[in-house]
Copies of this chain bind each other. A is one copy, B any other.
């Protein structure tokens, strides 16, 4: 899913910088085919000087916005959703306080609890599986699902009247094949880090701290590959994220990502996050011709350029036609359908990860009664936006109906969360929601 921001000066400046400094990278990957490796500027690639040590990065926790939203994208994530198993508002507040304190520790490279003085007669204060790795850029982002406000027609915590209108129940989209145990959730944690185990460890410790108050609903590991400084390729082999609104552009972030006060002042400076588990039929896709794949995306596979252009960050020209007057970027291509010019200017900030959960054995229970093992791999689509009613929902409604890519993708999980603004020291994430 892409949206355009063609005249972005930050990207151009970064591109110029690359042209000056990127010669070595091009030479190093020349064996992959001339001209294929010209790295563009990935989200998150522009803020750090080399050499980059992925383990020593520390992201601040207490800040006006929660980290993990416009933070330069780390290489790994573990996202998880939980259902609340209490009817007590105080339990929820107590949990959020504890989560806030633990997250503040973990993101600064500390263990979940102090190791010193922990006796043998109590459970370990930390699983210990990331000791010695370093903070690894860990961010922990919390969100609230619809069930915090109303679950089974019950207002368990007296919060129903504070539910933002923007926290809608997502509609059913064309083609959705959602699995209940990969969908929804009252509470959300997104842990991102430059190390798979550091990301998982955060969710593991927070989940353990919540023992008895929540049940885990689903959890999912994800990754993006390759060196920083390139737009990562998804498992379909195409660069993913080229046309994101740039995180360095505060005005764009204010317009498209950060929630306004609106009907829920406690959400001001937060964001609304949609998570979709999108399985990709990798085996099927790999049988397709490259030219067809490019028609599906509306971009060239190797360079990432829009069809008809030559460079990844060249502007998408939806009006361009071939000599016969047909659109160069096909009507049902992903780039056209998701482009902001096709969506009343709407943009969302995608911060997606690939996932790769091994294989499933699959039986078709109707002719031809096929039995086969297939990859359980695809995209953990994560999008942040100021209002999903103007962002993900209309964009995905169009994609779900018309996108040629739908032949190769299945949405099997879905969730929406209100991610409140950052916590103040001494307070906790979402405190504004519970104010009298």
Q: List A residues at the B interface (Cβ < 8 Å).
A: 28-29, 31-33, 36-37, 39, 51, 55-56, 78, 80, 108-111, 115-116, 118, 120-134, 181, 195-198, 200, 204, 207-208, 211, 215-221, 223, 225-227, 230, 233-238, 282-283, 285-293, 301-302, 354-359, 361, 372-377
Between A and B, 21 residue pairs with Cβ closer than 8 Å are A29-B109, A37-B131, A120-B291, A121-B291, A124-B286, A124-B288, A126-B237, A127-B236, A129-B233, A130-B233, A133-B227, A195-B226, A197-B226, A198-B225, A204-B282, A204-B375, A208-B286, A211-B287, A216-B359, A219-B359, A357-B376
- Contact yes or no, B36 A132, CB < 8 A: yes
Which of B28, B286, B357 is close to A127, meaning CB atoms less than 8 Å apart? Answer: B286
With A36-B115, A218-B373 given, is the CB distance from A233 to B131 under 8 Å?
A: yes
Inter-chain contacts of A108 with B (CB < 8 A): 31
Inter-chain contacts of A237 with B (CB < 8 A): 124, 126-129, 131
Question: Top 4 A-B pairs ranked by shortest CB distance?
Answer: A120-B291, A128-B237, A197-B225, A181-B361
- Contact yes or no, B373 A302, CB < 8 A: no
- Contact yes or no, A124 B225, CB < 8 A: no
Inter-chain contacts of A109 with B (CB < 8 A): 29, 31-32
- Contact yes or no, A219 B29, CB < 8 A: no
By beta carbon, the residue of chain B nearest A216 is: B373
In Å, the complex CA distance between A195 and B286 comes to: 20
In Å, the complex CA distance between A140 and B372 comes to: 24
In Å, the complex CA distance between A124 and B178 comes to: 30
- Contact yes or no, A287 B181, CB < 8 A: no
In Å, the complex CA distance between A221 and B78 comes to: 15
- Contact yes or no, B219 A197, CB < 8 A: no
By beta carbon, the residue of chain B nearest A358 is: B220
- Contact yes or no, B116 A236, CB < 8 A: no
Inter-chain contacts of A374 with B (CB < 8 A): 216
By beta carbon, the residue of chain B nearest A207 is: B283
In Å, the complex CA distance between A74 and B302 comes to: 27
By beta carbon, the residue of chain B nearest A179 is: B361
With A33-B116, A132-B230, A226-B130 given, is the CB distance from A358 to B357 under 8 Å?
A: yes
With A32-B132, A36-B115 given, is the CB distance from A124 to B217 under 8 Å?
A: no
In Å, the complex CA distance between A123 and B290 comes to: 6
Inter-chain contacts of A131 with B (CB < 8 A): 29, 32-33, 36-37, 233, 237, 302
Which of B78, B118, B356, B373 is close to A196, meaning CB atoms less than 8 Å apart? Answer: B356
A213 vs chain B, min Cβ distance (A) = 14
By beta carbon, the residue of chain B nearest A217 is: B373
In Å, the complex CA distance between A29 and B134 comes to: 6
- Contact yes or no, A129 B32, CB < 8 A: no
Which of B125, B197, B301 is close to A354, meaning CB atoms less than 8 Å apart? Answer: B197
A129 vs chain B, min Cβ distance (A) = 4
In Å, the complex CA distance between A292 and B124 comes to: 10
A404 vs chain B, min Cβ distance (A) = 16
With A36-B115, A197-B354, A286-B208 given, is the CB distance from A130 to B219 under 8 Å?
A: no
A184 vs chain B, min Cβ distance (A) = 12
- Contact yes or no, A123 B289, CB < 8 A: yes
Which of B290, B302, B357 is close to A357, meaning CB atoms less than 8 Å apart? Answer: B357
- Contact yes or no, B32 A110, CB < 8 A: yes
A57 vs chain B, min Cβ distance (A) = 12
A116 vs chain B, min Cβ distance (A) = 7
In Å, the complex CA distance between A132 and B238 comes to: 12
With A32-B110, A36-B132, A109-B32 given, is the CB distance from A215 to B373 under 8 Å?
A: yes
With A37-B131, A288-B123, A372-B215 given, is the CB distance from A111 to B226 under 8 Å?
A: no
Given A132-B230, A207-B283: 15 more A-B contacts, CB < 8 Å: A32-B110, A33-B111, A120-B292, A123-B287, A127-B235, A128-B290, A131-B233, A133-B225, A195-B225, A197-B226, A200-B356, A216-B374, A220-B358, A221-B356, A221-B358
- Contact yes or no, A120 B33, CB < 8 A: no
Inter-chain contacts of A197 with B (CB < 8 A): 223, 225-226, 233, 235, 354
